[in-house]
A and B are shown apart, each in its own frame.
Chain A
Amino acid sequence: MLEKALKGTKAYWIWVISVMAVMGIAFLFYLKQYHYGLGITGLSRDVTWGFYIAQFTFLVGVAASAVMVVLPYYLHNFKAFGKITILGEFLAIASVIMCMTFIFVDMGQPFRIVNVFLHPSPSSLMFWDTLALGGYLVLNVIISRVVLDAERKSIPPPGWIKPIIILSIPWAISIHTVTAFLYAGLAARPFWLTAVLAPRFLASAFSSGPALLILLCLLLRKFTKFDPGKEPIQKLALIATYAMAANVFFVLMEFFTALYSDIPEHVMHFQYLFLGLEGKATLAPWMWASEILALLALVLLLNPKTRRREGTLVLACITVFISIWIDKGMGMVIGGFVPNPLGNVTEYAPTFPELMISLGVYAMGILIVTGLYKIVLSVRGEVRA
C-alpha cells in the first residue's frame, strides 16, 4: 500500500517537494548544531529544556488523542467514526515520530541513546517514556496497516486485531501520563510538582488533538473527494469542548492552589509567566494570549450555534490548538525553570537555528501525514483525479 503515496497529481508533488525542501534546510541546521553543540540554541545553564522538549510534550498529547476516535468506535460501536479512526491513528504515528525526533535533536550525545536500552533504569521515567512511545508507535503501525488492508480488500479485519486495538486505548492514556510523570515527580521544580499535571495533560491533549483532526478532515474535504460528514465532525467538536472545559478548569485549579497558598516557590513561577520577575517578562504576552484564546475557544465551543456553524468551529479549533500549544509547550516547560532552584531569573527564547530545526521536524511530520493520508484516500478511491 505504501506505493500509493508515490502516485499523485502535480499539485501533490509540488506540496511534497516543498515540504522536503524545508526538511533539507532544517537538516543542514541540525548538522551545524551537532557540530557546535546545543549551545546554538537559546538554552542555558538555568533553562535546560526549551523549545524542543516543549514540542515533544505538546505532540505526545496529539499522539494520545487518537484514543478519542478509537474508543467510541471500537468500544462503543459509534459507527459515525468509522471513516476517521484511521486518520486519527495515522496522525498518532506522525506525532509519535515527531516526538522521538524532537528528543533526538535535543540530546547532547544522540548516538548514545542506545545506552537507554543497554542499561535499563526502571527508576527513571525517561526509560519508561521510551518504552511507552516505542510501543505506541508499533501498536498504531500494526493496527492501521491491518485495518486499512482489510478495508482495501473489502473484508472485515481479522479477529486478533481487536484486542490489540483495545490495548491501544489504555496505552494512549499511559503515554501521556508517563510524559506528565517526567515533570510531576521532581521535588526540584515546585511549579510542576502537582498531582493535576497528568489530568491536565490528558485534558489538553483530548481537546487539541480532536481540534487538529477536525481541521485536517476539513482540509481533506477541500482538496480531495473525502468528506467526513457532519456527524463525526460534530462529535469530535463535542469531545474537544468537554476536554477544553476540563483543561481550563484544571488550569484554574493550578492558579488557585499556588496563588491562595501564597507559597513563594509556587507563586514565583506564575508571577514570572504572567507578570514578569525582576523586570523580565518575555513570556507574559504569550501567556495572556493563551488564556484569552482559551476563553474565546470555550465560548465558541460551548455555544451550540457557533459549534455547529463550520466557520466558527474552524476558528474555535484554531484557537484551541494555539492556546494549548502555547500553554503546554512554552508556558509549562519554561515556567518550571524560571526562577531557577537558587532563585535567579534567566530568560529563554529560541534561536533561529533552533526554530529552523523544529520547523524541519514539523515538516517531517507533515510529510508523514501527507503520505499516509494519501494512501488512505487512494485505497478508498477518494483521491481527486
Chain B
Amino acid sequence: MKIDRRKFIKFTGLTTVGLAGTPIVRALTGEDSLLTPAKPAPSLDNPLTAKRWAMVIDLRKCISKEGCTACIDACHLTHNVPDFGNPKDEVKWIWKESFEHAFQEQEHEYIDEKLKNAPTLVFCNHCDNPPCVRVCPTQATWKREKDGVVMMDWHRCIGCRYCVVACPYGSRSFNWRNPRPFIKKLQPDFPTRSRGVVEKCTFCEERLARGLMPACVEACPEKALVFGDLENPESEVRELLKNNYTIRRKPALGTQPEIYYII
C-alpha cells in the first residue's frame, strides 16, 4: 500500500488521541480530578445520608495486615471509650474475635488454619430487625427510620442491661464503673458516658451528620471496611455484595444484620 507522510501522520495522530482519550477524560472529570470542584469541607450542612447504612468488611484484606488495630484505636479514641484493663469491666465497641467464635455455625475441623484463628472484626451489626430494640423498656435504643442506624440515648438508659442480654452478638457493653478516669485521651467534641448505662457502636452517626465517614472506615490502612447505602444500587457496598459471596453472623436468627463479611 502506498501511503504518504501526511496520511501517516494523520493516522498515527488519530490513533494516539483515540487511545489516550479515555484516560485523559477520566483524569479531567473523574473524582479527585483537576476539573471537579473541590469536595465541600465536612460540616453539618452536608451530612452523609442513606436509606439504609451497611458495611462490607473484606476480611482477606483485614487478615493480611497482622496485628493491625487501626480501626479499633480510631473508634475507641474518637468516642472516649474507656480502658478498664480487665475483662470483667471491659467496654468495647469494636474488637477482634477468632473466626470460630465470630461465625460459630461456620466452623468445622478442616477449616484452613490461617482462617480458623484469624482475627475477625466484630461490632454492632445494626440489624434491620434488632432484638435489642424490641426489649428496651424505655426506647433508650431504637432503630432510626431514616437510615437504619441502631442508636443509643445515654440520657434515657436506665441500665437494666436487657439489651445486652438480648443481643445475639455480644456487641453491647455496660459501664460497671465510672469510665472517666479510664479514658486515655479525652476527645472534647464527643461526650463520655456515665457509670450505669449501656453503650455500643452507633455507626458514627455524629460524623455522618458532618459528612464524614465512620472513624473505623477512615482509619483502615487496607480500605477493608466499606460503608455505604444498601438501597442505592450504585453504591460500593452493593457492588461488593454483587461480586463477592458474603456471610453474616448468625443469619438464622432473623435479626437481618447489616455487616457483611467477605471471607
Contacts and interface: CB of A to CB of B under 8 A. Distances in A.
Do most interface residues of chain A lie in helix, strand or loop, or is the interface mixed? loop
Interface stretch (A109-117, A140-148, A360-368): A109-117
Interface in A92-129: 106-110, 112-113, 115-116, 118-119, 121, 123-127
A186 B139 contact: no
B89 A44 contact: yes
Contacts of A307: none
B102 interface: yes
B111 interface: no
A110 B182 CA distance: 23
A106 B164 CA distance: 14
Nearest to B168: A188
B169 interface: yes
Interface of B: 87-91, 97, 100-102, 104, 122, 131, 133-140, 156-162, 164-170, 173-178, 194-198, 253-255
Interface residues of A, number: 43
Nearest to B155: A112
Contacts of A37: 175-178, 195-196
A259 interface: no
A227 interface: no
Contact of A342 (B133, B135, B139, B170): B170
Which of B104, B133, B254 has the largest count of A CB atoms less than 10 A from its CB?
A: B104
Contact of B161 (A49, A119, A123, A343): A49
B177 A121 contact: no
B195 A341 contact: no
Given A48-B164, A112-B138, A116-B158, 11 more contacts: A44-B176, A48-B161, A48-B165, A49-B161, A49-B165, A108-B197, A108-B198, A127-B137, A188-B169, A342-B122, A343-B100
A45 interface: yes
Nearest to B92: A45
Given A186-B166, A188-B131, A265 B139 contact: no
A165 to B, nearest CB: 30
A187 B131 contact: yes
Contact of A108 (B91, B101, B136, B196): B196
Interface string A288-309: 0000000000000000000000
14 contacts: A37-B196, A45-B91, A46-B170, A107-B196, A109-B159, A112-B156, A113-B158, A115-B137, A123-B134, A187-B168, A264-B104, A340-B170, A342-B97, A346-B87
A338 to B, nearest CB: 13
B157 A121 contact: no
Contacts of B102: 342
Interface string A342-358: 11101000000000000
Contact of B101 (A46, A109, A116, A342): A342
B159 A107 contact: yes
A124 B162 contact: yes
A223 interface: no
A38 interface: yes
Contact of A186 (B138, B165, B197): B165
Contacts of B167: 188, 341
Contacts of A170: none
B158 A121 contact: no
Contacts of B88: 39, 44-45
A27 B254 CA distance: 44
Which of B174, B254, B255 has the largest count of A CB atoms less than 10 A from its CB?
A: B174
Contacts of A266: none
A107 B174 CA distance: 11
Contacts of A39: 88-89, 176-177, 195
Contact of B138 (A44, A49, A119, A264): A119
Contacts of B136: 121, 124
Contacts of A110: 158-159
Nearest to A118: B138
Given A49-B161, A121-B139, A186-B166, A343 B174 contact: no
Given A109-B196, A109-B197, A119 B156 contact: yes
Which of A36, A126, A130 has the largest count of B CB atoms less than 10 A from its CB?
A: A126
